[in-house]
Structure 1
Amino acid sequence: MFGVLEGTGFEVIEPEFESCFVGHVRVERLWSGARWSEGPAWFPAGRYLVWSDIPNNRMLRWDETDGSVSEFRRPSNNANGNTVDTQGRLVTCEHLTRCVTRTEHDGSISVIASHWDGKRLNSPNDVVVKSDGSVWFTDPSYGILMDYEGDRADSEIGSCNVYRVDPATGEVELAADGFFKPNGLAFSEDEEWLFVSDTGVTHDDDGPAHIEKFKVGSNGKSLEDRGVFASCTAGLFDGFRLDRDGRIWSSAADGVHCLNADGVLIGKVRIPEMVGNVCFGGPKLNRLFIAGTSSLYSVYLNVNGVK
């Protein structure tokens, strides 16, 4: 019989989901006290996780060695999405500065992207770094729509897009347009596919609440064969990550949704609050860290995440 398994946070929708978890494993709440948690990023060398508390204008740090939580950075310029680049440096989307930044090994902060076509970005939201060192990020308008997570302002670009920062020249290039509100993004393990969520329904009743799938061109930077991969059945797909078998683990209103490689919803990790983003961590990348609205959760899975 399939459904919510008593005493756990797992809901089986399709039988194939059963292989993704161990029956006795439970969801753990690691910390609580945020206003809106986002952008978890795992640092394996230090065995710690960094994530954003956007309205509180701070970034937090959870230490695996002792379970402690401390402030990593305040003010954070209303930081949102975070990732770790190929050299182990923190890359961050900042609403307040409308920039993508990188924290260098010496602690200094460099601006990676601030403008496109001579105009200020809207409010970079989420970011990934490809193996070639290129930085890809989404740029919806959430941080300039109100003062709660940034500064209210007009969009200079007039649209919400996905961009790529060239690793050799630092040039900010348009990767894909035609979105309402591009949000989370992630590459498949072989980097042949890019997935981007569009959460346009937040400000347009007829807007999308889905993930789109793009084929990465042979040059490693063009995007082709665009199509809808999956639509959300509970709220929105915000941030998400892939595992090594091509499944997507995405935030949603009722927890984390697991979609197989065909975009079919096969199961859920139930969380008692809306989820903003997730990432894989731990030495085997088999621990899913979950940024709920006010809390940080984790659960061990029988899958391994893509870095």
Structure 2
Amino acid sequence: MSQPSSIYEIHDDRFRHLIVGTSDLEELYSDCRWAEGPVWFADLGCLIFSDIPNQRMLRWTEGSGISTYRSPSNFANGNTRDRQGRLVSCEHGGRRVTRTEIDGTITVLADSYQGKRLNSPNDVVVRSDGSVWFTDPTYGIKSDYEGYRAEPEQATRNVYRLDPASGELDAVITDFGQPNGLAFSPDEKTLYVADSSSSHDTSAPRHIRAFDVAEDGHVGNSRVFCELDNGLPDGFRLDVHGNLWTSAGDGVHCFGPDGKLLGKILIPQTVANLTFGGPRKNRLFITATRSLYAVYTATNGHSLG
């Protein structure tokens, strides 16, 4: 492993081809309590992200800076866009997943499973077939800081799939301690899910698991994709080459498709989430505790948000 140079740690030579060595880390905003859930709107040229404890969603635009997108936000956490360009959000406060329609109205996509309330939906992604996949740990009901304290009604902390045609909700993965960030590979044949249960149990794993996904949405062949050596995995995204860029305790960790750590981007604050954006999707936007950061890369993001 090389010593840190600037903000980068090189663990594998492949990482040198993914970064712009002269690109500085920019702090775009620094007045959050816990920044999360960044999603890029290419058609509007803006980034929307959550500031969970402050009950607001913020909008960042190049040249204009920060403005309020929604307040109160119902303790919104993770966000993405669907195939029609609509905002899909996980709300701790309502223990639900919602969609913001083009006219600004809000549609509830899911708030219960088998007659019982969800825990506190955390992160969400939409597959090309329109199905909505989200994680449901208990962070939003553990205290009144990021939601409303409550006892969980679900026996397990699941990953769910919402069918776009029938509206049926299925618990497709049920054996996580605390499922958190999730994303698909560029070909959508692999689903990656972070387990962040070490946040409250130091003996718990700090890894991201991978699953095979069939055309009909069936999930199988669970295996550990990678383990973090600093902090825990929260939100993450993949680039067009299938490299996985994840949040971590000391910054952003980049793993190759083979699960090997390629390198790190060192960030002054604990990272919660990230997304690729900008006109060419080569700018990595990073939500890290109090701040929103950005850095240009030599690769491009593949997902909508």
Q: 2:290 aligns with which of 286, 289, 294?
A: 294
Offset, 1:160: 0.2
Deviations 1:80-111 (A, max 9, x none): 00001100100000001000000000000000
| 1:70-85 matched pairs, under 5 angstroms | 70-85=67-82
State whether residues 30 and 67 of structure 1, in contact with CA within 8 Å, keep that contact through their aligned partners in structure 2.
Answer: no
**What is aligned with 1:4?**
4
- Aligned pair 1:268/2:248, yes or no? no
Q: Supply the RMSD in Å over aligned alpha carbons.
A: 1.0
Question: Which whole-Å CA distance do the structure 1 matches of 2:208 and 2:72 have between them?
Answer: 32
Question: Which whole-Å CA distance do the structure 1 matches of 2:124 and 2:215 have between them?
Answer: 22
Structure 2: which 5+ runs fail to align?
A: none
Offset, 1:35: 0.4
Q: 1:141 aligns with which of 126, 138, 141?
A: 138
Question: Which whole-Å CA distance do the structure 1 matches of 2:174 and 2:297 have between them?
Answer: 35
State whether residues 93 and 125 of structure 1, in contact with CA within 8 Å, keep that contact through their aligned partners in structure 2.
Answer: yes
| 1:177-188 matched pairs, under 5 angstroms | 177-188=174-185
Q: 2:222 aligns with which of 213, 222, 226?
A: 226
Offset, 1:302: 0.4
- Aligned pair 1:196/2:193, yes or no? yes
Offset, 1:206: 1.9
Task: Report the 3-state secondary structure (helix = DSSP H, G, I; strand = E; otherwise coil) of the residue aligned with 2:166.
Answer: coil
Question: Which whole-Å CA distance do the structure 1 matches of 2:20 and 2:276 have between them?
Answer: 17
State whether residues 192 and 216 of structure 1, in contact with CA within 8 Å, keep that contact through their aligned partners in structure 2.
Answer: yes
- Aligned pair 1:113/2:113, yes or no? no
| 1:1-307 matched pairs, under 5 angstroms | 2-5=2-5, 8-64=6-62, 66-219=63-216, 221-307=217-303
| TM-score between the two structures when normalised by the length of structure 2 | 0.98
State whether residues 44 and 281 of structure 1, in contact with CA within 8 Å, keep that contact through their aligned partners in structure 2.
Answer: yes
Question: Which whole-Å CA distance do the structure 2 matches of 1:218 and 1:86 have between them?
Answer: 17
State whether residues 3 and 13 of structure 1, in contact with CA within 8 Å, keep that contact through their aligned partners in structure 2.
Answer: no
State whether residues 198 and 210 of structure 1, in contact with CA within 8 Å, keep that contact through their aligned partners in structure 2.
Answer: yes
| TM-score between the two structures when normalised by the length of structure 1 | 0.97
Q: What percent identity do the matched residue pairs reach? A: 54
Deviations 1:168-191 (A, max 9, x none): 011111111100000000000110
- Which amino acid in the other structure matches residue 216 of structure 1? V
The range that moved more, 201-210 or 107-116, is: 201-210
Offset, 1:24: 1.3
Instruction: Tell me how many residue pairs correspond in the alignment.
Output: 303
Structure 1: which 5+ runs fail to align?
A: none
The range that moved more, 205-214 or 134-143, is: 205-214
